[in-house]
Amino acid sequence: MYPLPEGCFAPRNQWYIAAWADEVRREPMERWILNEPVAFYRTEDGRAVALEGRCPHRHFPLGKSRLVGDNIECMYHGITFSPKGDCVRIPSQGMVPASCKVKAYPLVERWKWLWIWMGDPALADESLIPDHHEIGLTDPAFTVESGTYHAVPGRYMLMHDNLFDLTHLGFLHQTSIGAGDYSVVDEQRDNGDNWISSQREFPNIQCPPLYAQVFGYEGKVDRAFGMKLFLPSLHAGYDFLFKSRTDSDDPGAVLGKVRVYHAITPATKNTAHYFFAYGRTFKQDDDAFGKAMLASFNAVIEEDMLATREIEAMLTTLGTTPPEVLLKADATCVRGRRLFESLIRKEQAV
Amino acid sequence: MYPLPEGCFAPRNQWYIAAWADEVRREPMERWILNEPVAFYRTEDGRAVALEGRCPHRHFPLGKSRLVGDNIECMYHGITFSPKGDCVRIPSQGMVPASCKVKAYPLVERWKWLWIWMGDPALADESLIPDHHEIGLTDPAFTVESGTYHAVPGRYMLMHDNLFDLTHLGFLHQTSIGAGDYSVVDEQRDNGDNWISSQREFPNIQCPPLYAQVFGYEGKVDRAFGMKLFLPSLHAGYDFLFKSRTDSDDPGAVLGKVRVYHAITPATKNTAHYFFAYGRTFKQDDDAFGKAMLASFNAVIEEDMLATREIEAMLTTLGTTPPEVLLKADATCVRGRRLFESLIRKEQAV
Amino acid sequence: MYPLPEGCFAPRNQWYIAAWADEVRREPMERWILNEPVAFYRTEDGRAVALEGRCPHRHFPLGKSRLVGDNIECMYHGITFSPKGDCVRIPSQGMVPASCKVKAYPLVERWKWLWIWMGDPALADESLIPDHHEIGLTDPAFTVESGTYHAVPGRYMLMHDNLFDLTHLGFLHQTSIGAGDYSVVDEQRDNGDNWISSQREFPNIQCPPLYAQVFGYEGKVDRAFGMKLFLPSLHAGYDFLFKSRTDSDDPGAVLGKVRVYHAITPATKNTAHYFFAYGRTFKQDDDAFGKAMLASFNAVIEEDMLATREIEAMLTTLGTTPPEVLLKADATCVRGRRLFESLIRKEQAV
Question: Hey, is the C-beta of B76 within 8 angstroms of any chain C C-beta?
Answer: yes
CA pseudo-torsion sign B252, B254, B255, B261: positive
User: What residues pair up with A67 in beta bridges, in sequence order?
Assistant: A72
CA C33 to chain CA centroid, Å, is: 12
Closest in A54, A75, A90 to B314, CB measured: A54
Domain closes at, from C88, C105, C122: C105
C122 part of a folded domain = no
pTM equals 0.95
CA proximity to C326, closest of B303, B77, A21, B337 = B77
C206 and C271 inside one domain: yes
What is the pLDDT of chain C when averaged over all its residues? 95
pLDDT-derived band at C321 (thresholds 50, 70, 90) equals very high
Q: Is residue C240 left, alpha or beta, with left meaning phi > 0 and alpha meaning psi from -120 to 50?
A: beta
**Residue A41 DSSP label:** E
**Residue B228 DSSP label:** E
Cβ–Cβ < 8 Å for C210, C258: no
Domain closes at, from B89, B105, B121: B105
Q: pLDDT at residue C350 above 90?
A: no
pLDDT at residue number B20: 98
CA pseudo-torsion sign B94, B98, B99, B105: positive
CATH number (domain holding residue A112): 2.102.10.10
Cβ–Cβ < 8 Å for B221, B251: no
Helix H segments across chain C?
156-164, 209-215, 287-318, 331-349
B241 and B308 inside one domain: yes
CA distance B37 to B58: 14
The DSSP H or E segment spanning C51 is: strand C48-52
**A318 to chain C: which residues are within 8 Å by CB?**
35, 54
Mean pLDDT, residues A68-83: 97
CA distance A290 to C146: 55
Q: pLDDT at residue A264 above 80?
A: yes
pLDDT-derived band at C175 (thresholds 50, 70, 90) equals confident
pLDDT-derived band at C170 (thresholds 50, 70, 90) equals confident
Query: Into how many domains does chain A fold?
Result: 2
pLDDT at residue number B293: 93
**C100 to chain A: which residues are within 8 Å by CB?**
325, 327
* 3-state DSSP helix/strand/coil % of chain B, to nearest 5: 25, 35, 40
pLDDT at residue number A9: 98
A165 and A216 inside one domain: yes
Strands C36-42 and B71-73: unpaired
Q: What is the pLDDT of residues B226-285, one digit of tens each?
A: 999 999 999 999 999 999 999 999 999 999 999 999 999 999 999 999 999 999 999 999
Q: How far is B162 from chain A (nearest CA, A)?
A: 9
B12 part of a folded domain = no
A21 and A140 inside one domain: no
Q: pLDDT at residue C303 above 70?
A: yes
Mean pLDDT, residues B319-346: 96
pLDDT-derived band at C178 (thresholds 50, 70, 90) equals low
Q: C270 in helix, strand or coil?
A: coil
CA proximity to B200, closest of B308, B325, B331, B301 = B331
B86 and B223 inside one domain: no
Q: How far is CA A286 from CA A138, A145, A281, B29, in A?
A: 18, 11, 11, 65
C61 and C136 inside one domain: no
User: For residue B37, what is the nearest residue in chain C, using CA coordinates?
Assistant: C314
Question: Hey, is the C-beta of B176 within 8 angstroms of any chain A C-beta?
Answer: no
Q: pLDDT at residue C210 above 80?
A: no
CA distance B14 to C265: 45
A311/C94 touch (CB, cutoff 8 Å), yes or no: no
Question: Hey, is the C-beta of B269 within 8 angstroms of any chain C C-beta?
Answer: yes
A263 and A227 inside one domain: yes
CA proximity to A135, closest of A168, A158, A113, A150 = A113
B324/A90 touch (CB, cutoff 8 Å), yes or no: no
pLDDT-derived band at A324 (thresholds 50, 70, 90) equals very high
Q: How far is A34 from chain C (nearest CA, A)?
A: 23
pLDDT at residue number B128: 97
**B268 to chain C: which residues are within 8 Å by CB?**
317
ipTM: 0.94
Mean pLDDT, residues C168-178: 82
User: For residue C328, what is the nearest residue in chain B, using CA coordinates?
Assistant: B93
Q: pLDDT at residue B80 above 70?
A: yes
CA distance B148 to B275: 6
A4 part of a folded domain = no
CA proximity to C177, closest of C260, C281, C233 = C260
B87 and B228 inside one domain: no
B91/C324 touch (CB, cutoff 8 Å), yes or no: no
A92/B167 touch (CB, cutoff 8 Å), yes or no: yes
**B99 to chain C: which residues are within 8 Å by CB?**
325
Q: Please count the residues of chain C.
A: 350
C195 and C291 inside one domain: yes
Cβ–Cβ < 8 Å for A2, A321: yes
Closest in B35, B77, B94 to C168, CB measured: B77
Q: What is the pLDDT of residues C13-31, one digit of tens each?
A: 999 999 999 999 999 999 9
Mutate to test the interface with B, among C315, C318, C325, C332 (most CBs of B within 10 A): C325
B216 part of a folded domain = yes
CATH number (domain holding residue C183): 3.90.380.10
What is the pLDDT of chain A when averaged over all its residues? 95
**A326 to chain C: which residues are within 8 Å by CB?**
57
Residues whose CB falls within 8 Å of the CB of residue C167, separated by 6 or more in sequence, listed in order: B77, B78, B91, B92, C179, C182, C329
In chain B, the percentage of residues whose pLDDT exceeds 70 is 99
A254 and A284 inside one domain: yes
Domain closes at, from A64, A91, A126: A126
CA proximity to B267, closest of B102, B105, B159, B152 = B152
C172/B61 touch (CB, cutoff 8 Å), yes or no: no
Q: What is the pLDDT of residues C79-128, one digit of tens each?
A: 999 999 999 999 999 899 999 999 999 999 999 999 999 999 999 999 99
Cβ–Cβ < 8 Å for A301, A274: yes
Mean pLDDT, residues B321-342: 96
A157 part of a folded domain = yes
Q: How far is A227 from chain C (nearest CA, A)?
A: 17
Q: pLDDT at residue C68 above 80?
A: yes
In chain B, the percentage of residues whose pLDDT exceeds 90 is 89
Question: Hey, is the C-beta of B283 within 8 angstroms of any chain C C-beta?
Answer: no
**B327 to chain A: which residues are within 8 Å by CB?**
57, 77, 79, 90, 92-93, 97, 100
Q: What are phi and psi of C109, to 5 degrees?
A: -95, 115
C118 part of a folded domain = no
CA distance B242 to B202: 11
Q: pLDDT at residue B180 above 70?
A: no
Q: pLDDT at residue B120 above 80?
A: yes
Q: What are phi and psi of C338, to 5 degrees?
A: -65, -35
A171/C60 touch (CB, cutoff 8 Å), yes or no: no
pLDDT at residue number A214: 85
Cβ–Cβ < 8 Å for C325, B57: yes
**C59 to chain A: which residues are within 8 Å by CB?**
311, 314-315, 322, 324
* 3-state DSSP helix/strand/coil % of chain C, to nearest 5: 25, 35, 40
CA proximity to A74, closest of B176, B305, B163, B311 = B311
Q: What is the pLDDT of residues B38-76, one digit of tens each?
A: 999 999 999 999 999 999 999 999 999 999 999 999 999
* Cβ-defined contacts of A88-92 (< 8 Å, 24+): A90/B327, A91/B167, A91/B170, A91/B171, A91/B181, A91/B182, A91/B183, A92/B165, A92/B167, A92/B182, A92/B183, A92/B327, A92/B328, A92/B329
User: For residue A73, what is the nearest residue in chain B, using CA coordinates?
Assistant: B171
User: For residue A87, what is the nearest residue in chain B, using CA coordinates?
Assistant: B325
C8 part of a folded domain = no
Domain holding A280, by residue range, is 133-349
Cβ–Cβ < 8 Å for B264, B156: yes
List all residues of chain C from 188 to 207 with a beta carbon under 8 Å from chain A.
none
CA distance B235 to B215: 26
Cβ–Cβ < 8 Å for A262, A273: no
Q: What is the pLDDT of residues A154-201, one digit of tens each?
A: 999 999 999 999 889 889 988 777 666 777 788 899 999 999 999 999
Q: pLDDT at residue A11 above 70?
A: yes
B61 and B172 inside one domain: no
State the chains in contact with A (3 or more Cβ–Cβ pairs under 8 Å).
B, C
Q: pLDDT at residue A113 above 80?
A: yes
CA distance C59 to A157: 14
A1 part of a folded domain = no
C164 and C254 inside one domain: yes
Query: How many DSSP H helices and E strands does chain A contain?
Result: 4, 17
A56/B325 touch (CB, cutoff 8 Å), yes or no: yes
State the chains in contact with B (3 or more Cβ–Cβ pairs under 8 Å).
A, C
Cβ–Cβ < 8 Å for C234, C17: yes
The terminus-to-terminus CA distance of chain B in angstroms comes to 20
Q: Please count the residues of chain A.
A: 350
Q: What are phi and psi of A95, to 5 degrees?
A: -75, 145
CA distance C306 to C173: 11
